[in-house]
Amino acid sequence: MDLKNRLSEIAETASTEFANTHSMEELETLRVTYLGKKGKLTQVLKGMKDLSAEERPVIGQLGNKVRDEITSQLSEKKALLEKAALDKRLSEETIDVTLPGVKPKKGQGHVITQIMEEIEDLFLGMGYQIVEGNEVEEDYYNFERVNLPKNHPARDMQDTFYITNEVLMRTHTSPVQARALETHDFSKGPLKMISPGKVYRRDTDDATHSHQFHQIEGLVIDKHITMADLKGALEALAKKMFGEDREIRLRPSYFPFTEPSVEVDVSCFKCGGAGCSVCKQTGWIEILGAGMTHPEVLRMSGVDPEVYGGFAFGMGPDRIAMLKYGVEDIRNFYLNDQRFLEQFKVKG
Ligand code: PHE
């Protein structure tokens, strides 16, 4: 077969083969088959050297034409296959906007933190400031400055962890009273503060005791503060934490740093006062200790008890959380079990 015929045959088979190609890989194989160094077209053109001077330009021209045709068919087919591949991907990867989304897991503060923040919000709204205290505290501030001198019998109820003989893990937030009193400038106005934080006791842990728990201390000192002011503040607290219908009652008690001292009960939020298992059939639930600041506490802090006076209170957010949510074992708050903690969303 002469070269001319071979060339037109190549052109023909190439165009059918390109038409029947369905993948990039096949197309590449075809390119090599026709245009490669050992490809069909190259083979034919190599034979040109044996041609006569008249035939050579004719065949050369035809060869170029066939190569151009094959090259342009190749790039057309390539563009076609690329478009098809893109269309396929686009249709496969469409996003179904009606599918339900994957909800990101939203964290929240620990239930005790949430309760403390709720109480902080309430008192901030009533013009109190928040004061930070030290968890590692001096015996002097933890006990002596709140009227519990060395060997005072009431110290027995608050044994703790000692760092040295004179430095300990504070047993209550009351040392913050002494620290705030000695730094407060009364010429600028009254002292109204709360102080939330962790406290420690050498208790044997059980359902209602933990060697580490929380307290919120409150202290208001000014001229002409009465027990009615204390009652008003605590009533606001009881209503905020346990509902608008709550009432409080004060029972006589003893604390070395307040005189008179009271235990504060809130009317049962479960039965409304009729008597149930939460209030142990009494209609009342004890929520905190309070009293009028002892003159000695003021004097030791350099504040004149003849001019200034006020009240203090101390409450346990752990106990409030237990009551509010019916948690029976305080240790649940400290086990860090997500299944337990996730249940509490105070603020939505
Ligand atoms: N500090 C006391 C306690 O831990 C609570 C308290 C504080 C009582 C302030 C009265 C006034 O038991």
Q: Compute the distance between CA of residue 70 and CA of residue 31 in angstroms, rounded to an integer.
A: 9
Of all protein residues, the one whose alpha carbon is nearest to atom 9 of ligand 1 is 313
Res 178: pLDDT: 98
- Candidates 160, 174, 210: which one to mutate for ligand 1, based on the most atoms within 8 Å of Cβ? 174
Statement: 111-341 belongs to CATH 3.30.930.10: yes
CA of 313 to the centre of ligand 1 (A): 6
Q: What angle do CA 297, 298, 302 make, to 5 degrees?
A: 120
Nearest to 295 by CA among 248, 258, 269: 258
Given this model, what pLDDT does residue 196 score? 98
Q: Whose CA is nearest to atom 7 of ligand 1?
A: 314
Of 199, 221, 257, 262, the one to substitute when testing ligand 1's pocket (max ligand atoms within 8 A of C-beta) is 257
Ligand 1 pocket list (CB less than 6 A): 172, 174, 217, 255, 258, 289-291, 312-314
pTM: 0.72
Residue with the nearest Cα to atom 6 of ligand 1?
Answer: 314
Beta bridge partners of 215: 197
- pLDDT tens digits for the chain (348 residues)? 588 888 888 888 988 988 889 988 998 998 999 888 888 888 888 888 888 888 888 888 888 898 999 899 899 999 999 999 899 998 888 888 899 988 888 888 999 999 999 999 999 999 999 999 999 999 999 999 999 999 999 998 899 999 999 999 999 999 999 999 999 999 999 999 999 999 999 988 899 899 999 999 999 999 999 999 999 999 999 999 999 999 999 999 999 999 999 999 999 999 999 999 989 999 999 999 999 999 999 999 999 999 999 999 999 999 999 999 999 999 999 999 999 999 997 664
Domains of the chain, by residue range, sit at 3-92, 111-341
